[in-house]
Structure 1
Amino acid sequence: MPRTGARGGPQTRARIAEVAARMFLERGFDGVTVAEVAREAGVSSVTVFKHFPRKEDLFLDRTVDAVELLRSAVRDRAPGVDVLASLRATTLRLVDDRHPLSGVNDRSTPFFRTVAASPALTARAREIAAELQQTLADELTHDPSFDGDAALLAAFFIAGYGTVLVETARRLIADDPRDDVLADHRARFERLFDTLTHGFAGR
């Protein structure tokens, strides 16, 4: 029986997400129900939905982390550091640390395969990207030291980040040599920020 008393807190959320990820990776996203995740995690379905309003968010569960990283890149940068430099440093740090949001974590390949096999996950990933774009645009709009086009920069950055991830996902799923993929992944992020900083002229 579900332990309905284990309802709150980050530990419960983390346990549910861990169980869900394992089940989705083993059986595919569409092959697992929320009720099965709840039962395996020892909670009720109601508790699952308190932490994850949508089934897709059980697997795409790092949106809050991404929002906080974007906000921190804008709000917490040192005086004199422009937004693009801060976003660049944050992005490359994620890559170098092999953070799950970098796209080159040890579990990225099975993650990408699961998302690619599920239209529901693919659609939700696009929605999340749009939400992150709006978050970054809002942050830039309210930053007194930023005098550029907030909506345009946010659109370019999120679209560019997503493009790098999609190409890396394609290559990882195709079993391209991992070391080559990782090197190209970082290099493409470098090119993204060079282009955002200097533009396309002469390239």
Structure 2
Amino acid sequence: MTGLRQQHRQRVHEAISEAAISLFLERGFDEVPVTEVAAAARVSKPTLFKYFPTKEDLVLHRIADHQGEAARVVRGRAAGETHLEALRRHFLDGLARHEPVTGLNDNPAVVAYYRLVFSTPSLATRVFQYMAVDESALAEALAESTDRLTAELLAAQAMATQRVLARRSWEALAAGRPIAEVEPEAVRAAELAFSLLGAGHTPG
């Protein structure tokens, strides 16, 4: 029963999210009331808020699913691998898989999704809040094997680096450039960015 209940919850969660994002993309985040999203997903407004505490969560849960990822990468790095080597490897692997979070994904729905996020002030603000939480978690992970100041500085720089890289790739794809052309540029940019970080960091 527990498994069936979890499957049901997941289906409801996905139905609400899909209905919300579809409506937001069609008419704009601020133009669609939560009651309309609930009606489209065939759930009550109280049920919707059980799954998504705020209107912004209807959109940003896809990004929230990656929260703490950088900290997990650092803690799970291979023996002899430095913090930055692990973060660099993880980001480059994401580019190779065209992970949406790297910005390098030309699926029209993904491109439209990020356009919605970046063009809606309340969503963009919440993204920066998520990033602040991620930065703090990464600093905690780094502080386990280096001093606190170094950990905080590196966490801030690493998160900013990944944000800039992802935004550059998304903007290139949103402008209509083919992914085959953008991908090698994204890889070179990532290599350069992490080498710049490494130039001022003592391996840990």
Higher fraction of helix? 2
**TM, length-normalised to structure 2:** 0.82
1:116 CA drift (Å):
3.1
Is 1:92–1:189's contact at 8 Å kept on the other side of the alignment? yes
What is aligned with 2:164? Answer: 163
- SS of equivalent residue, structure 2 residue 43: coil
> Shift of residue 173 of structure 1?
2.8
Residue 15 of structure 2 corresponds to residue 12 of structure 1: no
- Shift of residue 68 of structure 1? 4.1
- 68 and 128 in structure 1: CA distance in 2 versus 1, 3 angstrom threshold: closer
2-structure distance, mates of 1:192, 1:154: 14
TM-score for the superposition, normalised by structure 1: 0.83
Q: Give the 5 Å matches for 1:145-160.
A: 145-147=145-147, 149-160=150-161
What is the CA distance between 1:120 and its match in structure 2?
1.5
1:92 aligned residue: 92
Map 1:1-203; keep pairs closer than 5 Å: 9-105=9-105, 106=107, 107-141=109-143, 143=144, 145-147=145-147, 149-199=150-200
Query: C-alpha distance in 2, partners of 1:90/1:12?
Result: 32
Structure 1 residues 102 and 10, CA gap change in structure 2 (3 angstroms): same
Gaps of 5+ in 2: none
Provide the C-alpha distance between the structure 2 equivalents of 1:53 and 1:180, rounded to a whole number of angstroms: 40
State the identity %.
Answer: 35
Q: Tell me how far 1:160 sits from its aligned partner.
A: 1.0
In structure 2, C-alpha distance between the alignment counterparts of 1:92 and 1:58, rounded to whole Å? 29
Give how far 1:190 is off. Answer: 1.6
Q: How far has the Cα of 1:147 moved from its partner?
A: 4.7
**Residue-pair matches, total:** 194
Unaligned runs of 5+ in 1: none
> Which AA in structure 2 matches 1:14?
E
**Does the CA contact (< 8 Å) of 1:38 and 1:45 recur in 2?**
yes
Relative contact order, CA 8 A, sep 6+: which one is greater? 2
User: What do the CA deviations read for 1:77-111 (whole angstroms, capped 9, x no partner)?
Assistant: 22222211111121112111112212122233212
Local SS of the residue matching 1:66: coil
* Alignment deviations for residues 129-186 of structure 1 (CA, whole Å, 9 cap, x no partner): 2221112112222x2x345711101100111111122223333332234332232222
Which residue type is aligned with residue 165 of structure 2?
V
RMSD: 2.5
